Amino acid sequence: MYRKVFCSLAILATGFAAPAFALTASQTVEREVVVRNVDGSQTITREAADKVTPGDKVIYSLNYYNDAAEPAENIVLVMPIPGEIDYIDGSADTKQAISTYSVDDGKVFAKRDDLRVLQADGSERAARAEDITHIRWTIKDAVAPKASGTLSFSGRLQ
């Protein structure tokens, strides 16, 4: 069975260096393709995720670009994880941003190790990767004029 996968994103920005802030963001969705070579080695490539099957690894990338003539500061980008995708732990971590996560549809964000899920009986348990519903990246440094970057996470189609 083939399915199409989509994702949306949110850009939050505060305290910009210039009032004429303009950050452009676009998203790409790719699936990982593993080819076994004759010699037993593997070649891993990516292709557009026009069609994916359960078990496929899908990579969601968020590409951003500072259109302004001034540096952009305090950039926060939020990306929901589609319901049919199980997040792959550690795949959103990057040196350029602080990654936090939500298990409640983006209401509250926390460090990965601090995430808790409320159970039906009122008890709490540590969140599993498949419980994560949103990723929030806070870019550490100002984004220079005309500079760009990419943030991404991986998941597996259920």
Whether 3 maps to a domain, the answer reads no
* Average pLDDT of the residues in 102-127: 96
124: Cβ–Cβ under 8 A, 6 or more apart, which residues? 116, 117, 118
Q: Is the pLDDT of residue 16 over 80?
A: no
* pLDDT of 111: 97
Domain of 127 in residue numbering reads as 10-157
pLDDT (average), residues 131-150: 96
Q: How far apart are alpha carbons 84 and 154 in whole angstroms?
A: 13
To the nearest whole percent, how much of the chain has pLDDT over 70? 87
In a domain, 107, yes or no: yes
pLDDT class of 105 with cuts at 50, 70, 90:
very high
What is the structure's pLDDT at 12?
52
Give a yes or no: residue 133 inside a domain. yes
For 79, the token pair is 């990306």
pTM of the model: 0.82
* Residues 6+ away with beta carbon under 8 Å from 92: 99, 101, 135, 137, 151, 152, 153
Query: Tell me, what's the pLDDT at 48?
Result: 93
pLDDT tens readout for residues 20-79: 557 899 999 999 999 999 999 999 999 999 989 999 999 999 999 999 999 999 999 999
| 134 Cα distance to chain centroid | 8
Residue type, 136: R
Whether 135 maps to a domain, the answer reads: yes
Rounded to whole angstroms, the Cα distance separating 17 from 142 reads 9
35-49 per-position pLDDT tens digit: 999 999 999 999 999
When divided into structural domains, the chain yields a total of 1
> In the structure encoding, which two tokens stand for residue 116, read together?
């808790």
Q: Do the Cβ atoms of 51 and 3 come closer than 8 Å?
A: yes
Q: Across the chain, what does the average pLDDT equal?
A: 88
Whether the Cβ atoms of residue 88 and residue 155 lie closer than 8 Å to each other: yes
